[in-house]
Copies of this chain bind each other. A is one copy, B any other.
Amino acid sequence: MLLVAPCRERRELDQVVTEHHFEDFAVGQVFGSGRVRVDGDRMVAFAAEFDPQAFHLDPKEARHMFFQRLVASGWYTAALTMRLLVDSDLRPADGIIGLGFEELRWPQPVRPGDELHLHTEVLELRPSRSRPEHGLVKLRMTTRNRADEAVQVLVGTLLVGRRRS
């Protein structure tokens, strides 16, 4: 199933390289992504498997509950965000290896038919003490809907290989 259209118009850096080493990142760099449309059936199937609560499953019941409408599980938003990140131009040399996250929020719920895209900003760079062949790249990854409202904010650190000289 093609979830994310390979749409690269939002390319914000002139990148000819296909893989990024630690040395290729700079604080303030910004990476865009393609877009993914949220399919209602798939969204509900995900919730049925991983987050079976009525406000994620049943539009009628959801009306009388907290969100007052059917909304995506936040973990579905997180999973879609990961797919946007993997398909984006941010391509660490050894793959996307998340060391840990210090912020994960869902400021707005995601609904069927929403279209999401990802805005990733490099916040901080530092060498790894325990792994001299790697560096740490701290990122803020903001997932936005068509109205450009943030639906997820994720701040975390990736382990990225240094260039072998």
Q: Footprint of B on A, CB under 8 Å? A: 1, 3, 46, 49-55, 65-66, 73-75, 78-80, 82-83, 86, 94-106, 156, 159
Copies of this chain, whole number: 2
Considering the chains assembled together, what is the distance between the CA atoms of A100 and B105 in angstroms? Answer: 4
Q: A75-B78, A94-B66, A101-B104 are in contact. Are A83 and B53 (CB under 8 A)?
A: no
Of all chain B residues, the one with the shortest Cβ separation from A101 is B104
Give the shortest distance, in Å, between A7 (CB) and chain B (any CB). 17
Q: A53-B86, A79-B79 are in contact. Are A106 and B98 (CB under 8 A)?
A: yes
Which secondary structure dominates chain A's binding surface? mixed
Give the shortest distance, in Å, between A92 (CB) and chain B (any CB). 10
Considering the chains assembled together, what is the distance between the CA atoms of A106 and B157 in angstroms? Answer: 12
Q: A65-B94, A74-B98, A75-B75 are in contact. Are A52 and B86 (CB under 8 A)?
A: yes
Q: What B residues does A80 contact at CB under 8 A?
A: 50
Considering the chains assembled together, what is the distance between the CA atoms of A104 and B97 in angstroms? Answer: 13
Do A73 and B82 have beta carbons less than 8 Å apart? yes
Q: A65-B94, A82-B75, A94-B66 are in contact. Are A104 and B49 (CB under 8 A)?
A: no
Do B52 and A95 have beta carbons less than 8 Å apart? no
